[in-house]
Structure 1
Amino acid sequence: MQKALLFFTLIIGIQTVFSQETTRRDTLIGGLHFERTSFDVLRYNIDIKVMPEAKRIQGNNEIIFKVVENTKKIQIDLFENMVLDSIIWKGQKLTYKREYDAIFVKFPSELTKESTESIKVYYQGNPIVAKNAPWDGGFVFSKDKNKLPFIGVAVQGTGASLWCPVKDSQSDEPDNGVSIKVAVPDGLMNVSNGRFIGSEKLKDGYTRWDWEVKNPINAYNITINVGDYVHMHDTHNGLDLDYYVLRENKEKAIKHFADDVKPMLDCFQLKFGKYPFWEDGYKLVESPYLGMEHQSAVAYGNKYKKGYLGSDTSGTGIGMKFDFITIHESGHEWFGNSITSKDIADMWIHEGFTTYTETVFVECTQGYDEAIKYINGQSKRVTNSTPIIGQFGVNRQGSSDMYYKGALMLNTLRHIVNDDSKWWSVLLKYSETYKKQIIDTPTVIAFFNKEIGIDLTPVFNQYLKHTALPVLEIKPYKKRFQYRWITDETNFEMPVDILIGDELVRLNPTNNWAKSKKKISKMENLKVLTDHFYIKVK
C-alpha cells in the first residue's frame, strides 16, 4: 500500500503510535503465543453474504489446520464488534472465550500433534467502515454513478479479522489456498482473489460468486469487491490477465490498462522472476478506494489517471508517464504477497522493495538516468524522524519512511555493488529464493551479505534501526583531504563514490579518519555522488 502523499498530514498520528504503551489487546493480535503457534492453517473456506443497504455481512469460515503441538486450546481472531454465533467441530458446538478481538477456542479433548482438524465459525455483524480507506482499515460502502452499490475492503495493518474469523497473523498463510464464496444482490458481481469458479442464483434475491485461490495467501490480502462490474480478459505470454471495472468505465479502462500492464509484467518478470501466482492469474479490480495489493486481485482506484491521482510522487514529472497504482500495487505481487514479513514491524520488506520496483519500472521503460532522477526526487518525502523497523509482537509498524527511505537504501546497495549485472542477479535470486515464503529482516541481511560478499549488517542497521542518515565528513588535509563516516552504528563501513574533477574515485570510509592519496587543489573540485548513495555530506 502507498501512503506517502498523505504522510506529512499523519506525522503527529504516527509519532503518537510510537509513544503508545503496549496493551493486552496489542499482544493478543501481534504476539505469537502457544495458542497461535500450536497450529498451522492449511485452508480457509469462506462463505458469506453481503447486504449493502444494511452494511452487514453474515456467513461462516471453515478453518482447516494442522496441529503442530498437542493442545486443547487455540486462538483465532474476529473483531469484538462482530457477533460470533457458533463454532462447530465434528458436529458439536465448542466453547470459547472472547478477549478483545481474540477468540480462545476450547476442545473437549486434546488435539494431537500432526493431526488435521477443522472448525467452522459462524458469524455476522456490521464490520467497521473505513473513514478513509486504505489509510485506515475497514469496509467501504459506496455507490457508482448509477447509484448501484460499489463495495470494497482494505485491512492491511488493521487485520482481516475485522470482517472474517481467521488466524490474523502474517506469520501463517493457508498452505492449500482459499475458497471464497460471496453472495450479493442479483445484478451485482463479487470479485475475489484467484480464479472464478462459477456463480449460482439463490432463491432470496442474491447470487453467489465463487472464487478459488490455489496459492498460499496472507489473510489481509483476502478480499471482496462488489459492484456492477464488466469483465475484460487478455493474455500475455501465457499468463491470464483479467480486468473487472465498473460498467461506466469500460472504454477508458481498455486503453488505460494496455499502456502499463504488459510492459510492467515484462519488466518485473525480467528483474524479479516469473509472476508468482501464475495458477491464480493476474487481475486488476476497480475499487472505491485508491488501491491495495490484494494478491491476484489488485485493487485499483486511481481513476484511470497517470501518476498518483494525477500527481507525481517524485516531483520530477517522470512519474506522470505511468499509472502509479498499477505499478506499485502490482510490484507487491513479488514483494509483500510472495515474500512476506513475519511481523508487520518488518513491513519495510514489503514497502521498501515495492517502492523500489517503481524505479525499476522507470529504468526498464525510460532508462537509467531517468530512474536515478525519479528515485532521488522521492527523497524529499523522507522525514528521518522515526526508525523504519517497528515494535515486534504488538502489531505495530515502523515509520512510513519504510517506503522511500527503504527504496533509497536499495539504490545505495546497488551502487555499493558497483556492478549492475551482479546487482540484478542478486535481486532476482532474492526474489526466487524466498518466493512464497515468510521471512524477517535478519534473513534479508544474511542473504545480501552472502550474495554481495560484503558484511552489510551495519549498513542495513543504520538505515532501518536509526533515524539519521550516514554522514560522510570530509575536510582538507594539507594538499589532500581526509574523510570518515559519522553514524549511530559502530564499526560502520560503506564504500562511496566521489568525483575529483572528472575522475571517479571510490572511497572506503570507516568511523575513523582516513587520508586520501589523491591531491586536490581546492575542496570545490570534490563532489560526492549523493544521487547514488543516500547519505549526508559534511
Structure 2
Amino acid sequence: MKKLVTASIIIASFQLHAQTELFDKQETYTRQDSLRGSITPERVWWDLKYYDLFVSVDPEKKFISGSNTITYEVLESANVMQIDLQEPMQITKVTQGQAELEVTNEGNAHFIQLPTQTKGSEGKVTIHFEGNPRAAIRAPWDGGYSWKKDENGNHFIATSNQGIGASLWWPCKDHMYDEPDNGMTLSIQAPEKLTAVGNGRLEKIKKNKDSTRTFIWKVVNPINNYGVNVNIGDYVNISSKYKGEKGNLDVDFWVLSYNEDKAKEHFEDAFRTLEALEHWFGPYPFYEDSYKLVEVPYLGMEHQSSVTYGNQYLKGYLGQDLSGTGWGLKWDYIIIHETGHEWFANNITYKDVADMWIHEGFTTYSESLFIEYFYGKEAASSYTQGLRLGIQNSEPIIGDYDVNSEGSKDMYPKGNNLLHTVRQVINDDSKWREILRGLNKKFYHQTVTTSDVESYISDQSGMDLSNVFDQYLRDARIPVFEYAVMGNRLIYRWTNCIASFDMPVRVKVGGEEAVLNPNSSFQLMEITDKNLSISDDYYIYVNEVKINKVPE
C-alpha cells in the first residue's frame, strides 16, 4: 500500500508539471488586462480579413524586424484602431497608402489614428516593427522566442506564445474572437544555410543578396493568432500523403537533419492519430493548408497546420505515462495531444481565454478516444480514470472573462473526465460520436463560447445538461452520490454540489440496471437486493451512510 501511495503522488506531481498554467492566475486585474482581454471599442468596429506578415530573424543578435499589412472590413464608422504589440518590441511606423499615421500607446495597446472609416468599406494598414522579443525561459508555458543550438551547433529557433499572446513578437489584433477570414501570408527571412518553416504551404523560397533566404508560407483558412509560428533550423523534409475522409492530405515532417531516420519510424503515430481523430471528430479541418509536424527545441504546441514537436522521440510524455496505467506509453503524447488541437483550438476556437477548457478538455479527451479506437473502451476508460490523480479541484475550470484569464489547470484531466461523464449520461455511443463530429461541423472554423458548446451538446442529446456543466465547469467540488439501505429501501441524493445538480446516474442493484435521477433531496426506491454498484466511469464520489429514520 505504501508503494502504491508513493507512486500515485509521483504521477500526480508529474501531471501537474505537464499541465502548468500558461500564465499566472491573478487576484486583481489592471487596465492592461482589460485592454488585452476585452473586445474594446477600438477593436469592435473592424473585422479582420487578412494578415500579410513579414519577419526577418537575426539569430546572432536575437533581433527581429518586419511588417504586417492588415486587411479589414469596416463594420461601423470609426477612426481609431487598436493594435497590440508587447514590450520590448516597438512599432516604428504605421502607414495607410502613402500616408504615415499617428500612433499613441497605452502599455502594450497601440491606437492608430485613421481617417474616418466608412461602414462597408475595406481598408489596409501596414505596421512596421522591430526589437529583441522576449526570450522563452521555459517554453511553451512562459512564451517567447526559443534561441537554441542543435547538436551540430546550428541555430535552432522557434516561437511559442499561447496565453501570453502573439503580440509578444508581432503586431496584431490580439484577441481570440476575431480571426483573419481569408488566412494569411507568413514570410520568414533567415540565414541562407537554415530553413524557415511556418504555417500552411510553402509557396516560394527567395534568395537574398545579404546571405539570407526568405521562405513564403501561405495559409488559406482562418487562423488564430497564437497558432502562427516561426521555426528555423537545419531542417530536412519528409513528405508523404494520408488518405483521409476528404481525400489525400499532404503530410510533411520537418526534422533536424540528423534525426531524419528516427523521425521516419517514430512519426508513424501521426498517421494513426489522423485516422483515429477523423473517426471521432470528422475530417481534419485544414486539408487546404496541409498537415505538418515540425521539430522544435521545446516540448511542442498546437500551431495550426504546423504542429510543433519536441518530445525527444519518446512514447508517452517525455517517456512517462500521465495516467499511471500503462496505456499512455503506447503512443507519443505530443503527437496525439497537439494534433488533437487541430480540431479543438484551431478549428473550434474559444472567444475568450476563460473558456480555454474547450481547447484543453476536449483535446485531453482525444487521447482517450485515440486509445479507444486502437485498444478498446476498457483501455480508454482506464486511462481517463488514471488522469484523475492529477486533478486538484481547488478552483473552477472556467476563468474570469474579459481580462485574459485562463481557468484552473484542471481543465486538462477534469475536462476529459467531464466529457467522459457526459457520455455516460447520454448512454448512446453512436449519438456521442455524432455529437463530437457535429461540433466540428457546426462550428467549423469558428470562435465559440462555453455556452455555445453546452447548448449544442444538450440540444443534440435531447437532454438538459446545463446543471452538469455548471457543476464541473463553474464549481470546484466533485459531487457525492450519498446513499443508505434501510430494509428494502434505497435512500439516495446528491451532496457536495450546486443546489440544482440533478445528473441522472445508472446503477446496478443486485445485477439489475436502473436509472436514478437524484437531486439534493433524499429520494426513495424499493429494492429486493442490497448490493448497489455504480460504474467508475462517472467522475463522482460514492458514499454509503447510515440513516436512522426514513426521510419523509
Q: Structure 1 length as normaliser, TM-score?
A: 0.96
CA distance in 1, matches of 2:442, 2:68: 32
CA shift for structure 1 position 18: 4.0
What is residue 534 of structure 1 aligned with on the other side? 539
Residue in 2 that maps onto 1:55 = 62
- The corresponding residue for 1:159 is 165
Q: Is residue 257 from structure 1 mapped to residue 260 from structure 2 by the alignment?
A: no
1:298 matched to 2:307? The reply is yes
Q: Does 1:174 align with 2:184?
A: no
User: Where do 1:309-324 residues align within 5 Å?
Assistant: 309-324=318-333
Show structure 1 runs of 5+ residues with no match. Answer: none
| Aligned partner of 1:132 among 122, 127, 138 | 138
1-side partners of 2:73 and 2:339: how far apart? 31
User: Cα gap change, 1:229/1:16 in structure 2, threshold over 3 Å: closer, same or farther?
Assistant: closer
Mapped partners of 1:138, 1:267: distance in 2: 32
Measured in 2, the distance between the counterparts of 1:468 and 1:387 equals: 8
1:27 paired residue among 34, 37, 47: 34
Q: Deviations over 1:273-323 (max 9, x none)?
A: 111000000000001100100000000111111000000011001110000
1:377-416 equivalences in 2 (<5 Å): 377-416=386-425
Deviation at 1:500, TM superposition (A): 2.7
Amino acid at match of 1:269: E
Q: How many aligned residue pairs are there?
A: 529
**Per-residue deviation, 1:205:** 1.0
Which residue in 1 is equivalent to 2:128? Answer: 122
- Once residues 96 and 236 of structure 1 are traced to their aligned partners in structure 2, the CA distance between those partners, rounded to angstroms, is 48
Could you tell me whether the CA contact under 8 Å between 2:22 and 2:141 is conserved in 1?
no
The question of 1:509 aligning with 2:515 is answered no
| Deviation of 1:430 (Å) | 1.4
Match of residue 194, structure 2, among 188, 197, 201? 188
* Mapped contact 2:22–2:163 kept (Cα < 8 A): no
Residues 242-265 of structure 1: CA distance to partner in whole angstroms, max 9, x if unpaired? 00000010000000012x122211
Pick the aligned partner of 1:461 from 466, 470, 473. 470
The answer for the alignment partner of 2:92 in structure 1 is 85
Question: Runs (4+) of structure 1 moved beyond 6 Å?
Answer: 13-16
Separation in 2, partners of 1:349, 1:181: 31
Render the CA deviation track for 1:196-233: whole Å, top value 9, x for unaligned: 00101100111111100010000110000000000010
What's the CA shift string for 1:442-487, capped at 9, x where partnerless? 1111111111111110100100001001111111233322101124
Cα distance in structure 1, aligned partners of 2:97 and 2:466: 50
Residues 1:294 and 1:88: Cα distance change in structure 2 (over 3 Å): same
Q: Which amino acid aligns with 1:25?
A: Q
**Compared with structure 1, are the counterparts of its residues 144 and 15 closer, same or farther at alpha carbon in structure 2 (3 Å cutoff)?**
closer
In the alignment, the residues of structure 2 paired with residue 368 and residue 441 of structure 1 have an alpha-carbon distance, to the nearest angstrom, of: 27
Change (3 A) 1:129 1:16: closer
Look up the SS of the partner of 1:308 in the other structure: coil
Cα RMSD (Å) of the superposition?
1.7
Equivalent position to 1:338, from 337, 347, 355:
347
Residue aligning to 1:372: 381
How far apart, in 2, do the equivalents of 1:328 and 1:291 lie? 10
Which residues of structure 2 form unaligned runs of 5+?
1-11, 544-552
Residues 487 and 511 of structure 1 are in contact (CA less than 8 Å); yes or no, is this contact kept in structure 2? Answer: no
Give the match for residue 448 of structure 1: 457
| Map of 1:241 onto structure 2 | 251
- Aligned partners of 1:481 and 1:520 also within 8 Å: no
Conserved? CA contact 1:387–1:466, under 8 Å? yes
What SS does the aligned partner of 1:248 have? helix
Q: What SS does the aligned partner of 1:516 have?
A: strand
Question: Contact 2:488–2:526 at 8 Å: present in 1 too?
Answer: no
Q: Give a deviation string over 1:182-201, Cα, whole Å, max 9, x none.
A: 11001100000000001011
Post-superposition offset of 1:516: 1.7
Following TM superposition, by how much is the alpha carbon of 1:65 offset from its aligned partner in structure 2, in angstroms?
0.7
Deviation at 1:392, TM superposition (A): 0.5
How far the C-alpha of 1:526 sits from its partner, in A, is: 1.9
Q: Confirm or deny that 1:201 pairs with 2:207.
A: yes
TM-score (norm 2): 0.93
Q: Which amino acid aligns with 1:254?
A: K
Following superposition, the deviation at residue 391 of structure 1 comes to: 0.4
- Aligned counterpart for 1:427 among listed residues 430, 436, 442: 436
Report the AA paired with residue 106 of structure 1: Q
Deviation at 1:15, TM superposition (A): 13
Quote the Cα distance in structure 1 between the aligned partners of 2:287 and 2:22: 40
State how far apart, in whole Å, the 1-side matches of 2:292 and 2:112 are: 36
Equivalent residues of 1:477, 1:515 under 8 A apart: no
1:481-500 deviation line (CA, Å, top 9, x unaligned): 21011244222211112233
Rounded to whole Å, the distance in 1 between the matches of 2:209 and 2:512 is 78
Residue 45 of structure 1 corresponds to which residue in structure 2? Answer: 52
Measure the CA separation in 2 of the matches of 1:284 and 1:303.
Answer: 13
CA distance 1:461–1:63, shift in 2 (3 Å): same
Contact 1:7–1:400 at 8 Å: present in 2 too? no
Cα deviation 1:417-437 (Å, max 9, x = unaligned): 111111111211112111111
Name the CA distance, whole Å, in 1 between partners of 2:507 and 2:309: 42
Question: Contact 1:449/1:456 (CA < 8 Å) preserved in 2?
Answer: yes
Identity among equivalent positions (%) equals 43
Q: Within 1, Cα distance between the matches of 2:332 and 2:21? A: 28
Q: What's the counterpart of residue 142 of structure 1?
A: 148
Moved more, 290-299 or 486-495: 486-495
In structure 1, the residue matched to 2:548 is none
- Give the whole-Å Cα distance in 2 for the aligned partners of 1:491 and 1:351: 26
Q: CA deviation at 1:506?
A: 2.3
Is the 2:479–2:496 Cα contact (8 Å) retained in structure 1?
Answer: yes
Q: Is the 8 A contact 1:62 1:121 kept in 2?
A: yes
Whether the 8 Å contact between 2:22 and 2:142 is mirrored in structure 1 is no
Q: Is the contact between residue 462 and residue 487 of structure 1 (CA under 8 Å) also seen in structure 2? A: no
